[in-house]
């Protein structure tokens, strides 16, 4: 995983490239925390277009960063891998960023959702 940092007016933009998996999550977490803007009200944008793979460890990392930054965090340019895990985990709304989730197969209804005869 590679992390590129760019200063922008009002905050900082991070560009993530590569895999965001259990193998990279701890190192990436430390790098992201070190790259946070020093100002309390500064915005943080994370560009996810270069994320080629993400697992639950990567999702947990994004949730931790969201918890730390709150409304200052904005995720942009979600890669297909990121969109897929946000859709599967139904966590897209938690981040509050505009995104278009891929159209997928309809999920089968669970036992409590099936009509009983």
**CA distance linking residue 112 with residue 4, whole number of Å:** 46
Q: What is the pLDDT of residue 38?
A: 81
The full length of the chain comes to 117
Q: What is the pLDDT of residue 103?
A: 62
CATH hierarchy code of domain 2-95: 3.30.750.24
Q: What is the pLDDT of residue 116?
A: 42
The pLDDT tens digits of the residues spanning 55-105 come to 999 999 999 999 999 889 999 999 999 999 998 998 888 887 776 666 654
Q: What is the pLDDT of residue 63?
A: 94
Backbone angles phi, psi at 3, to 5 degrees: -120, 120
* Class of residue 77 by CB neighbours under 10 A (exposed 0-12, middle 13-18, buried 19+): middle
In the predicted model, is pLDDT for residue 32 greater than 50?
Answer: yes
Question: What is the pLDDT averaged over residues 9-33?
Answer: 95
Q: What is the pLDDT of residue 5?
A: 95
Helix, strand, coil percent content, the chain, rounded in steps of 5: 35, 30, 35
Confidence of residue 17 (pLDDT cuts 50, 70, 90): very high
Assess contact for 52 and 18: CB atoms under 8 A.
yes
Q: What is the pLDDT of residue 37?
A: 84
Confidence of residue 108 (pLDDT cuts 50, 70, 90): very low
Q: What is the pLDDT of residue 96?
A: 79
* Class of residue 54 by CB neighbours under 10 A (exposed 0-12, middle 13-18, buried 19+): buried
In the chain, where are the structural domains located? 2-95
């Amino acid at each position: 995983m590679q992390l590129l940092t760019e200063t922008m007016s009002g905050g900082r933009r991070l560009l993530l490239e590569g895999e965001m998996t259990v193998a990279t999550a701890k190192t990436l977490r430390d790098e992201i925390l070190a790259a946070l803007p020093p100002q309390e009200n500064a915005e943080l944008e994370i560009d996810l277009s270069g994320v080629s793979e993400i697992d639950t460890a990567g999702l947990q990392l994004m949730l931790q960063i969201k918890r730390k930054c709150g409304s200052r965090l904005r995720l942009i340019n979600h890669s297909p891998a990121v969109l897929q895990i946000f859709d599967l985990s139904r966590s897209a709304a938690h981040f509050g960023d505009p995104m278009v989730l891929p159209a997928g197969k309809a999920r089968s209804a669970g036992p409590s959702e099936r009509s009983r005869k």
